[in-house]
Structure 1
Amino acid sequence: MSNNNDVISPEMLVLIITATIIGTFVRFLSIKLDYRQYPNYPNGYLIHLVTGGLAAAIGAFIIPTLMTKNFTAVTFLALAAQHFRDVRKMERESLLDLEGDEFTRRGDAYIDGIAKIFEARNYITLIVSFVTALTIQLFQEFLDTAAWTEAVCGSAVGLIIYYLLKRFTVRQKVRDIATVEEGKIEIKGSDLYVNDMFVYNLAGREEAKEWFLDDGLAAVIRPNKDHFQIPLFNGGQRQAILFETTRRLGQKKLYNVENPGAGVIIIVLVPIIKNFELLKETILLTPLLETVKKNPELLNIQKGGQR
């Protein structure tokens, strides 16, 4: 800082601006990864980018406040934490309000997981911004380098931290524990079968029979190992799969059933877009929910025997 406490030195200005830009940039990257989960894209995109920018600014100002021994200003971190919790609450309420407008409900478990992720990514933004600022400050204190060198090195360290945090917080997907195969739809009397497994009683409705035989798709989700049935059969997880499926393909009619005897989940629907490869991809890319990951053993790929 300069001798005049009322003026920010050029060095500190470089630190603040660089850290804020890098923090906001990594928040932008994380928003792009999750655009499909927004309730009001692109307006939600803007909201989360602005709140991410605020988180980055808070992280950038931690070092200057400590350098000036203005410890009272650090209490803004507590306000930031409350702000991030409010973002989580806002996202949760927004998604809940839209539950009745979707083809299929997301379910409380899926919504809670999405809201937690948005809160966590603001913390990631703050951490990246802080580390960027700290790196620049260390260069300024111990190395006689140009301002652009300090900015580049600080940015590089911040992006590395973002990469590590992203790897640490990455979510497993259905494809990590299961496979999806196309099922053969059959009507026997008034009963709907997939691969000779009973799914639903159509009660003799000829229109429904024609729908499923002509335009229906069936997917059989088969866990890779026996113990993977536990997370897959979880009600919240199945609801998340159904939501992503109908969100992407649309829905005229839908049935889903778990078959514990066969160890599979069967999804049968009459979609607006009839494309099994798209259906398969959507199921496999559905994230595993936090509620099914509380016991790490449930997702341990080394446990149990191969089916």
Structure 2
Amino acid sequence: MLETRDLITILTAILIGTISRILMLKEDFRQYPSYPNGYLIHLITGFIAASLGAVAIPALLSKNYVAVTFLVLAIQQFRDIRKMERDSLKDLEETEYTFRGAAYIDGIAKTFEARSYFSLIVSLFTALTMYILPFSYVPKVIGSVIVGFSLIYILKRFSKGKTVGDIAEVKPGKIEIKGSELYVDDIFVSNLLGGDNSRELFQKEGMAVVVYPKKDHFRIALDHFGQRQAMLFEATRAIGLKRYHFTRKDYEKGRIVVTLVPILNDYDKLVEAVIQTPLLETVKKSHSVMNTNLFGEE
């Protein structure tokens, strides 16, 4: 039978650890993870991770070292989550308007694996605090909850990624058709508009945005094909795709063009989609891009 102290410790740690997963699981305009099935999968995984972290301290104190080995199994399960997410998104590539790209998929998969670790860490330190504080049950619970939520805040700030809007400005672009060639703000994009119908369609319904790097060294990230593909993907997911989609870079000034013929003609959504596109981990080459301010403004 569990002692009252151990039971309260485990339940408190599981609760705070699960809450940490809920707070870090959000559905934004990218619609991922999908509701409700995607939510359920990750919430259950977060609960399991929190449970493992919660029982680790009582197991150690009772000298039940075999039980702690379940943490090793948990790590393997979390790695399987990354593989599951990667495989799932790769299977969906052919059904999307355009490809996410391998770099974007890898970043999403790693993110979901890491957030399971967060649940385990938060519950582990919550349980540890319960045992360390030399108070009665109520102050112990209050103190452990404070520690748990403080850790959630720190981890959330630490894991907060950058977006395209952090290193670049995104503005609507002017579309021009010259013969069979497509230009956006005098940047050559494509020569595939040979038919009258395609030229007329792009002239009437085409939309384009131009991404301007705030500093010259930010071009290292923006020029990366995986990053440009991610921007194009988010643009098509936000406003749909009727026909044609291109992304090009200006070699002289470092500008990036994203243009398409959308289903919804909404420049605000298009600009916002590109601005909110995450900076992929594989393209973060600049120290100023990689720096994350733990306690600064969002």
> TM-score under structure 2 normalisation?
0.93
Shift of 1:130: 0.6
2:30–2:234 CA contact under 8 A, matched in 1: no
Counterpart-to-counterpart distance in 2, 1:185 and 1:296: 32
Against the structure 1 CA distance between its residues 25 and 196, is the aligned structure 2 distance closer, same or farther, given a 3 Å change threshold? same
1:237 aligns with 227
**Match 2:260 to one of 256, 265, 269:** 269
Shift of 1:36: 3.5
1:39–1:95 CA contact under 8 A, matched in 2: no
* Secondary structure of the corresponding residue to residue 36 of structure 1: coil
Shift of 1:300: 6.8
2:33–2:39 CA contact under 8 A, matched in 1: no
Shift of 1:198: 1.8
Shift of 1:262: 2.9
> TM-score under structure 1 normalisation?
0.90
Against the structure 1 CA distance between its residues 300 and 77, is the aligned structure 2 distance closer, same or farther, given a 3 Å change threshold? closer
* Secondary structure of the corresponding residue to residue 265 of structure 2: coil
1:74 aligns with 68
2:205 aligns with 215
1:15 alignment partner AA: T
Are 1:84 and 2:78 matched, yes or no?
Answer: yes
1:51-105 deviation digits (Å, cap 9, x = unpaired):
1100000000011101111112111111011011011111111111111010011
2:231–2:258 CA contact under 8 A, matched in 1: no
Counterpart-to-counterpart distance in 2, 1:161 and 1:172: 21
1:170-218 deviation digits (Å, cap 9, x = unpaired):
1111011100111111112222111122211244311112211211111
Are 1:12 and 2:3 matched, yes or no?
Answer: no
Give runs of aligned pairs for residues 185-224 of structure 1, distance below 5 A: 185-224=175-214
The percentage of aligned residue pairs carrying the same residue is 52
**Match 2:110 to one of 103, 109, 116:** 116
Shift of 1:155: 1.3
Shift of 1:123: 0.6
2:30 aligns with 36
Give runs of aligned pairs for residues 277-292 of structure 1, distance below 5 A: 277-292=268-283
Structure of larger gyration radius: 1
2:209 alignment partner AA: A
* Secondary structure of the corresponding residue to residue 100 of structure 2: coil
Shift of 1:296: 3.8
Shift of 1:37: 5.6
Shift of 1:150: 1.9
1:256 aligns with 247
Q: Which is worse superposed, 243-252 or 207-216?
A: 207-216
Against the structure 1 CA distance between its residues 222 and 155, is the aligned structure 2 distance closer, same or farther, given a 3 Å change threshold? same
1:231-261 deviation digits (Å, cap 9, x = unpaired):
1010111111111111111011211111112
Q: Which is worse superposed, 251-260 or 171-180?
A: 251-260
Q: Which is worse superposed, 167-176 or 148-157?
A: 148-157
2:162–2:279 CA contact under 8 A, matched in 1: yes
1:221–1:265 CA contact under 8 A, matched in 2: yes
2:218–2:286 CA contact under 8 A, matched in 1: no
1:54 aligns with 48
1:23–1:56 CA contact under 8 A, matched in 2: yes
Counterpart-to-counterpart distance in 2, 1:198 and 1:187: 10
* Secondary structure of the corresponding residue to residue 69 of structure 2: helix
Counterpart-to-counterpart distance in 2, 1:49 and 1:150: 26
Counterpart-to-counterpart distance in 2, 1:170 and 1:286: 13
**Match 1:177 to one of 167, 171, 186:** 167
Shift of 1:122: 0.6
1:39–1:94 CA contact under 8 A, matched in 2: no
- Which runs of no fewer than 5 residues in structure 1 stay unpaired? 1-6, 302-307
1:249–1:272 CA contact under 8 A, matched in 2: yes
2:22–2:43 CA contact under 8 A, matched in 1: yes
Counterpart-to-counterpart distance in 2, 1:20 and 1:63: 12
- Which runs of no fewer than 5 residues in structure 2 stay unpaired? 292-298
1:49 alignment partner AA: L
